[in-house]
Every structure is written in C-alpha cells, then in structure tokens.
Amino acid sequence: MPAVSMTVNGKPVTGDVEARTLLVQFLRENLRLTGTHVGCDTSQCGACVVHVDGIAAKSCTLLALQCEGAKIITIEGLAEPGGALHPMQEAFRENHGLQCGYCTPGMIMAALDIVRRRGNDLDEHTIREQLDGNICRCTGYHNIVKAIAAGAKAMAKGGARQAAE
C-alpha cells in the first residue's frame, strides 16, 4: 500500500493507505481523530470540513494521498493544549450554536475560513451566504449565525491565533 505523510494539528503523521482512502477516513480511522464527521459523504453537508494548508476543504472529497506533505488542521487542533477553547468554539457554546452537535466541527472549521476570507466584522447576510456548504438539521441556523459573528469579533479582540497556522 502507498505510504502517506502529512502534518496534522502540528504533528507529523504517516500511514499506509489504499489509494482510494479519503482524507476523512485517514483522519478518523488511522489517526482516530473522530471529531471530523461524515454526514452525507456526497460533498454537500460540510460536517467533514478541515483546513488543508490553511484553506477549508471537504475531507470526504479529498484522497488522503492528495494531502501528501500538506498541513491539516482538524477541530481537535483548535483548543489550547491546556484546554482553553478557541474563541470560535467558545462562541458556539456561549450562543448555543448547536443542538445535536453533529455538524458543529464542520461549522466551526468553515466559520474560521469565513473569517480568513471576509475578516472579523461579519454581517448576518454574509455569514448565511458563506454557510452555503454546511448543513444543520437541528438549529435552524439562527444561533450558528450569532455564534460565528461573536466568534469572529472575539478572535480580533483576543488576537487569537488563526486556526490555520
């Protein structure tokens, strides 16, 4: 089997995988990083969003081998090692931006990509439009939108590290 190596949440990792192994399978099954979820497996729901070299991507639509040498950040890579949540995670908790939580890792990784592209001062319309690729079946999105606006502001205030670094 081909070998693949990449950096995941700052740690170098390697593995032997079949060529058809998806990035999300490699993360979940080889590395046991089960925070990245598989919702639809058809590139639509966004539960599997991770950052590849700083840019949000659906890990169900990438082969692990396409990520050879890449830097991957997953939801597990956001909180401080001491346990303090990333401001965007904290904002989701504060604003009750989740119910069942299944879509949340993808929502948060997508939210950080919105901040990367659109900055820290986000209006509701922009957030809703930019969440086009992330589906939530519980919340009706209202609190997710609030959480992202608050999290983006908190990131500016705290000078928080950007997830993708």
Regarding 164 and contact with other proteins (CB under 8 A), the answer is no
Regarding 63 and contact with other proteins (CB under 8 A), the answer is yes
Residue among 39, 46, 77, 97 that touches other proteins (CB under 8 A): 46
Regarding 20 and contact with other proteins (CB under 8 A), the answer is yes
Nearest approach, Cβ of residue 63 and other proteins (Å): 7
Residue among 57, 122, 163, 164 that touches other proteins (CB under 8 A): 57
Regarding 14 and contact with other proteins (CB under 8 A), the answer is no
Instruction: State the Cα–Cα distance between residues 99 and 115, nearest whole angstrom.
Output: 23
Regarding 137 and contact with other proteins (CB under 8 A), the answer is no
- Give me 118's structure tokens: 């659109």
Q: Which residues, 69 to 98, sit near other proteins by CB under 8 A?
A: none
Taking CB under 8 A as the binding criterion, the range among 73-81, 97-105, 125-133, 152-160 that sits at the site for other proteins is 125-133
Say if residues 106 and 46 touch (Cβ distance below 8 Å).
yes
**SS3 annotation, 56-97:** EEEHHHCEHHHHCCCEEECHHHCCCCCCCCCHHHHHHHHCCC
Answer positive or negative: Cα dihedral of 99, 100, 103, 109.
positive
Nearest approach, Cβ of residue 83 and other proteins (Å): 29
Residue among 6, 8, 105, 113 that touches other proteins (CB under 8 A): 113
Q: Which amino acid is present at 119?
A: G
Which residues would be at the binding site for other proteins (CB under 8 A)?
2, 18-20, 22, 41-43, 46, 49, 55-58, 61-63, 65-66, 68, 110, 113-114, 117, 130, 132-134
